[in-house]
Amino acid sequence: MSRVADGGWERPTVLRWPGKGQKSLSTMWGMQKLRIREDHILLGEEFYDEDLKLVKALTSRQIEMLGGRLFPRIWTMQRPDAPGEYTRLDYKELAFKDDLPDNLFTTSALRTSWR
């Protein structure tokens, strides 16, 4: 495996899994496909409906140091049927909080309102 010009990898890991929808969830995907670099940086994610038709895709680029970590500076979410329309996040700077409590992402904590 070798690096390409943008600092990424020629062959990122691709993870796919079928959705296991729960009727209580507001969004249910038929499948999600992730492209992840060897150093655990998300390069892209595709979201498929229950008929396995691509609904939208998230891509990241310009991976650089932000907040002391390698992080994609530009994120773009786009539907395949609207090539000229997209939502783009362009991070200028980031700050990461490293001292999150261990129970922050437990099922119980996620059900509790954090207001």
CATH number of the domain encompassing residue 56: 2.50.20.10
Distances (CA, A) of 37 to 11, 30, 34, 86, 95: 8, 24, 10, 23, 22
Establish if 82 belongs to a structural domain. Answer: yes
pLDDT at 38 over 50: yes
Whether pTM > 0.85 for this model: the answer is: no
Please give the residue that has the higher pLDDT: either 22 or 82.
Answer: 82
- pLDDT bin (cut points 50, 70, 90) of residue 112 is confident
Residues of the domain holding 45? 13-111
Instruction: Please say if the pLDDT value at position 14 is more than 70.
Output: no
3-class SS of residue 111: helix
In the prediction, which pLDDT does 50 show?
85
Structural domains of the chain, count: 1
Residue 63: inside a domain, yes or no?
Answer: yes
Q: What is the pLDDT of residue 113?
A: 60
Q: Is residue 30 part of a domain?
A: yes
